[in-house]
Structure 1
Amino acid sequence: MNDEIIKIPDNERVLSPGKLFYNWFAANIGIMGFVYGAIIVSYHLSFVQALLAALVGALTFAIPGLVSMIGQREGVTTFKLSRAVYGIRGNKIPNFMAWLNMAGWISVNVITGTLLFSSMLKSINIPQNTWTKILCLAIFAGLVIISGLFKEDVLVRIQTWFSWIFGIFTVVLLVIFLVKSDWTAAFSMQTGNWVTSWLPAVAFVAAGSSISWSMAAADWGAYVKPQTKLISNFWSTTLGAATPLFVTMAGGILLSTISPNLATAGDPYAVVFDALPHWFGFIYFLSAAGGLIPQCLVSLRSARINLATIGIDVSEKTSLLFHSLFIVVISIYVLFISANFLGNFELFLNFLGICLASWVAVFLVDSVIYRRHGYDVDLMRKTSRVHYNWRGIVSWIIATITGFLFTSNAAYRGLFAHGIFENNSSLSVFASAIVAMIVMLIFSMFKGKTNDAK
């Protein structure tokens, strides 16, 4: 007997647009936005172009906004909705990759948070050794893992407090950068090519933020109050995430006039620290580390939902224990065994970005063409008659392969990675999404708009 709950019960759908806004705001207030801003400048753009790239890149959070709307309308989390698009079995591969992406980013953030926490102690003259680093890992990872015991409404309250606390710290950082920035250097930055420089910068921001977050969007949207207007959900998600990301990236653009090597630094957080007054150092590290926790909260919640949706049916406690072990083992390996893991892991996540961009493009086009009047709940059950929806699967495979063919990075060079795609791996993410939409539209010309393949 299949007793899996597909639709979230109405009594559990308690999130308001305001709470949703704070959730996404807190998840994107992290200090990494400053580094993103400096990386935008590294594409050799003018000050105005850099700000515009940051703005457009941040506004690509309209993609998660659309996914969140669908989640609210149906009352269903992301990868249960995706079962209708790919089939109950065909959905398992993109579902698994989404889990890898979420679990991987939790690990990266825990590692980064541990290093920042350790640096914070160093800034107040506490000696650094292996034991202090172990203590920092235990505290930071422990805070993230404990969050797995909380319900949605408690997590949202935590996110709200984090938004205010670390948002204020970030504003102080911005004020310092505004005062210390070399405005002459900023306005003398040469204009770059809009196609070969500006567009890849926008793609980089989207690939590193909105596309990765798309898979978590309906996981929160499904818990929004049913009577909430869908457009309110859209703007709460889009602006809640885009606002802090744009502001921090703008700060990074200004910071690059003080510290030009920020975009290529092995430890960008130390570079930011060096640009600040010494008295602000402790607060800076506290803000940087604390700003990572909301990202971990959102990722851990969605990772657990994704694992369950794949079909790995375990208790909540077992799921939390499994994810805790995954996070801690990877963190220990990176912090105490391997010095080169992060670089390879970021490449791994870049490859996942192509797969996920293809997935979300297929998902949204399918929703517009085939699900205008809602999703068939039976297609999302484990007992669904549609095991493989080849329309979605083939579109996803073709788009993903195309993305890899246009990818160029330190580990891999695709057959067609020339011109604007050379050394611009983020553009391959856009390429895969565009191809996914084109293939889905071609299918719609030859297939009925209501039939799903078995």
Structure 2
Amino acid sequence: MTDVRTAEAAQRLGVETTGIEIIDEAERTAAPRDLFWPWFAANVSVFGISYAAFVLGFGISFWQAVVVTVIGIVVSFALCGVIAIAGKRGSAPTMVLSRAAFGVKGQKVPGVVSWLVSIGWETALAILAVLATSTIFERLGWGGGTATKIVASVVVAALIVAAAVAGYHVIMRMQSVLTWVTGAITLLYIAMTVGDVDWSAVSAMPAGGIGATIGAFVMVMTGFGLGWINIAADWSRYQHRDASGAAIVGWNTFGGALAPVLLVTFGLALAGSDPAVLEGIGADPIGTLATLLPTWVLVPFLLAAVLSLVSGAVLGIYSSGLTLLSLGVRIPRPLAALVDGIILTLGTFFVVFVAEDFLGPFQSFLITLGVPLASWAGIMIADIALRRRDYDDDALFDSTGRYGAFDWVSIGTMVATSVLGWGLVVNSYADDAAWNNWQGFLLDPLGLGTFIDDPAGSYWEGTFAYANLGVLLAFLLSFVLTYVARRGTVQRQESRA
């Protein structure tokens, strides 16, 4: 009885008490167009402009980078849209729906990867907000030292955790407001810095080879849509069961891809115009972009930067809490978000005050977890494509039901393709993130690359060494294997009474 009263009190305060259980039919009131707001607000960040430097870091030309950016962003968010269809069919969080493909207990394998990805992304966004605050405060003469970073860390973490604890309905309202605020100030930034673009310098950038182009493409996909794909159904589980699947994919893709395509494209021109901007983004992405602005506009720029990063982190921490529950942790959903918020705060303090470099570990993190996440996505998308009916709600929570406890085909596929994938990706920052230097173990045997251990800085040599082919291999191979090997399994599941 106490739990009921507590839940009712939380609901009166606007806190979502629904955890990983199936959403009641009466609460499925969202329309596909509602998906635009959370995805657009989470991605209309000036960080998108700075991401252009990561793309150009592969040594490709401006026009190669534009093509890679547009295709990579749109395709990766379209894949998120396909995963979002599962949310409509099952009205449960992404990782709960993943039980249909991996088994009720076997889902813990991709669940752990998903939790780590969400925690990593939300912490990275919080770190960027703190570093931006410090840099801008320093330029304003307000002091950007330790005290500022501590206060900024606490405030940013508090904003993220408060919204995530409140839950779905508060977040949806918040995102619809932040869309306009951050979007307007981001457009102001573009208008005030477009004069810094040097088209002669941009057009003179030499073209890169096929390996570098593929590597940039994979980085874009991993950094944008694939970075969100493990939570895509969390935001579509309130959709009507009869909502159009095509509309869900369309609004998800449009909301997620619109801002990044425009921002990264502009960022490519900006970073390609000034070597100092291109280099500075590695240590402090948003703070470096602020150096191009006059003093009077720094405060609104900081506001937009922090709010946009908080907006993205809120989606991550909300979903990481749901993933934690799907792994068997028996606590209320708001408390799960709070636990992840504490981890976020500790991670932010560590990177801001202890770690010396941000870009290196961040890229290593993305590629490392991007491989098993791509494998999971291939399996999940194939499973969605094979199904013709909605999910069996009860069986998603019953290891003796039609989905079983473990699906060893899916688990084996994910493990095998992840191992193969890790053998075909490399740690781009071997000296800054030496803990990842075991990757790329298949490149040398296959003649695709050679590791050079140089005292001046270790690196890989070879046309396809930095192409990160392992991410594409993990996704495509997992999709094909699942679509072929599990067709009969899905048919049997859906034929059971």
TM > 0.5: yes
In structure 2, relative to structure 1, the CA distance for the partners of 1:283 and 1:86 (3 Å cut) is same
**Aligned-pair CA distance for 1:247:** 0.8
In structure 2, relative to structure 1, the CA distance for the partners of 1:151 and 1:414 (3 Å cut) is closer
400-409 or 142-151: bigger deviation: 142-151
For 2:318 and 2:292, locate their aligned partners in 1 and report how far apart those are by CA, in whole Å: 35
Given that residues 83 and 379 in structure 1 are in contact (C-alpha distance below 8 angstroms), is that contact kept between their aligned partners in structure 2?
no
**Aligned-pair CA distance for 1:6:** 4.2
Given that residues 73 and 230 in structure 1 are in contact (C-alpha distance below 8 angstroms), is that contact kept between their aligned partners in structure 2?
no
1:221 aligns with one of 233, 236, 244? 236
**Aligned-pair CA distance for 1:286:** 2.3
In structure 2, the partner of 1:188 is 204
For 1:64 and 1:184, locate their aligned partners in 2 and report how far apart those are by CA, in whole Å: 37
SS in 2 for 1:291: helix
Counterpart check, 1:450 vs 2:491: yes
SS in 1 for 2:422: helix
1:57 is aligned with what amino acid? G
In structure 1, the partner of 2:442 is 416
Given that residues 406 and 421 in structure 1 are in contact (C-alpha distance below 8 angstroms), is that contact kept between their aligned partners in structure 2?
no
2:73 aligns with one of 58, 71, 85? 58
TM-score (norm 2): 0.84
Given that residues 258 and 275 in structure 1 are in contact (C-alpha distance below 8 angstroms), is that contact kept between their aligned partners in structure 2?
no
**Aligned-pair CA distance for 1:263:** 4.2
How many residue pairs were aligned? 446
Given that residues 123 and 282 in structure 1 are in contact (C-alpha distance below 8 angstroms), is that contact kept between their aligned partners in structure 2?
no
> Which structure 2 residue ranges, 5 or more long, are not aligned?
1-17, 431-435, 449-461
For 1:78 and 1:263, locate their aligned partners in 2 and report how far apart those are by CA, in whole Å: 37
Given that residues 407 and 421 in structure 1 are in contact (C-alpha distance below 8 angstroms), is that contact kept between their aligned partners in structure 2?
no
2:365 is aligned with what amino acid? F
1:114 is aligned with what amino acid? V
In structure 1, the partner of 2:478 is 436
1:299 aligns with one of 283, 303, 316? 316
Given that residues 117 and 286 in structure 1 are in contact (C-alpha distance below 8 angstroms), is that contact kept between their aligned partners in structure 2?
no
**Aligned residues: CA RMSD:** 2.3
In structure 2, relative to structure 1, the CA distance for the partners of 1:81 and 1:42 (3 Å cut) is same
Alpha-carbon displacement from aligned partner over 1:42-63 (angstroms, at most 9, x marks no partner): 3333333221111101102100
For 1:53 and 1:342, locate their aligned partners in 2 and report how far apart those are by CA, in whole Å: 20
For 2:91 and 2:490, locate their aligned partners in 1 and report how far apart those are by CA, in whole Å: 23
For 1:270 and 1:346, locate their aligned partners in 2 and report how far apart those are by CA, in whole Å: 19
For 2:482 and 2:192, locate their aligned partners in 1 and report how far apart those are by CA, in whole Å: 48
229-238 or 180-189: bigger deviation: 180-189
In structure 1, the partner of 2:352 is 335
For 2:20 and 2:362, locate their aligned partners in 1 and report how far apart those are by CA, in whole Å: 35
For 1:268 and 1:295, locate their aligned partners in 2 and report how far apart those are by CA, in whole Å: 16
In structure 1, the partner of 2:299 is 282
2:482 is aligned with what amino acid? M
In structure 2, the partner of 1:269 is 286
SS in 2 for 1:30: coil
For 2:198 and 2:480, locate their aligned partners in 1 and report how far apart those are by CA, in whole Å: 45
In structure 1, the partner of 2:423 is 405
Given that residues 213 and 467 in structure 2 are in contact (C-alpha distance below 8 angstroms), is that contact kept between their aligned partners in structure 1?
no
Counterpart check, 1:246 vs 2:289: no
Which structure has more RCO (C-alpha within 8 Å, separation ≥ 6)? Answer: 1
In structure 2, relative to structure 1, the CA distance for the partners of 1:108 and 1:44 (3 Å cut) is closer
> Which structure 1 residue ranges, 5 or more long, are not aligned?
none
For 2:98 and 2:246, locate their aligned partners in 1 and report how far apart those are by CA, in whole Å: 22
For 1:12 and 1:213, locate their aligned partners in 2 and report how far apart those are by CA, in whole Å: 24
Given that residues 197 and 273 in structure 2 are in contact (C-alpha distance below 8 angstroms), is that contact kept between their aligned partners in structure 1?
yes
For 2:129 and 2:155, locate their aligned partners in 1 and report how far apart those are by CA, in whole Å: 10
Given that residues 29 and 238 in structure 2 are in contact (C-alpha distance below 8 angstroms), is that contact kept between their aligned partners in structure 1?
yes
Alpha-carbon displacement from aligned partner over 1:59-87 (angstroms, at most 9, x marks no partner): 02100011112211322221111001011
How does 1:55-134 map onto structure 2 within 5 Å? Answer: 55-60=70-75, 61-134=77-150
